[in-house]
Copies of this chain bind each other. A is one copy, B any other.
Amino acid sequence: MSSAAQSAVETIQREMTVFARRARASAGRMHPELSLVSYTLLGHLEESGGCRATDLAAHYALDKSTVSRQVAALERAGLIERRPDPADHRVQVLDLTAAGREILAQVTRSRRAAFRDRLADWPEADLVRFASYLERYNAGPDGTDTD
Residues of A within 8 A of B (CB): 1-2, 4-27, 30, 36, 40, 43, 47, 59-62, 111-112, 114-122, 124, 126-138, 140-141, 144-147
Contact = CB atoms under 8 A, between A and B. Distances in A.
A146 B11 contact: no
A42 to B, nearest CB: 12
Contact of A112 (B2, B9, B120): B9
Number of copies of this protein chain within its complex: 2
Contacts of A8: 124, 127-128, 130-131
Given A16-B23, A119-B137, 20 more contacts: A4-B124, A8-B124, A9-B115, A9-B131, A11-B134, A13-B115, A14-B43, A14-B47, A16-B134, A19-B20, A19-B137, A21-B60, A22-B138, A25-B62, A27-B147, A115-B147, A118-B137, A118-B141, A118-B147, A130-B137
Nearest to A144: B118
Q: Which of A6, A59, A61 has the most CB of B within 10 A?
A: A61
Nearest to A133: B130
A5 to B, nearest CB: 4
A24 B36 CA distance: 14
Nearest to A9: B115
Contacts of A30: 147
